């Protein structure tokens, strides 16, 4: 079995993890703010982000996982919070 893509969703955004050569790419969108209109409807404003890991470097991927967790969850989590994101990224390591 070969993992080609993993989609992740958190309270503040979504991300897709893929691999291109030695690069592990994390492309996503994160919530910036919610704007309420006069009629009561809410519009969500989001922005894109990209993180790059390395299929040969576990340390770099641990840093990417920490940033990804903080971006999608909206707070700097503990090692247990980051571990879930790191496991997803490790699926693309050599």
pLDDT tens, 55-88? Answer: 999 999 999 999 999 999 989 988 888 999 999 9
Whole-prediction pTM value?
Answer: 0.85
Q: Is the pLDDT of residue 89 over 90?
A: yes
What does the pLDDT read at residue 77? 84
The 3 state secondary structure assigned to the chain is CCCCEEEEEECCEEEEEEEECCEEEEEEEEEEEEEECCCCCEEEEEEEEEEEEECCCHHHHHHHHHHHHHHHHCCCCCHHHHHHHHHHHHCCCC
The count of domains in the chain is 1
Q: Which domain does 62 fall in, by range? A: 5-90
């Amino acid at each position: 079995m070969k993992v080609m893509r993993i989609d992740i969703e958190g309270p503040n955004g979504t991300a897709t993890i893929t691999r291109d050569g030695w690069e592990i790419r994390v492309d996503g969108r994160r919530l910036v703010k919610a704007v309420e209109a006069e009629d009561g409807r809410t519009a969500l404003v989001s922005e894109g982000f990209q993180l790059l890991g390395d299929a040969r470097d576990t340390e770099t991927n641990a840093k990417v996982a920490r940033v990804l967790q903080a971006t999608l969850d909206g707070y700097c989590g503990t090692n247990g919070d980051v571990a879930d994101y790191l496991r997803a990224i490790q699926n693309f390591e050599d």
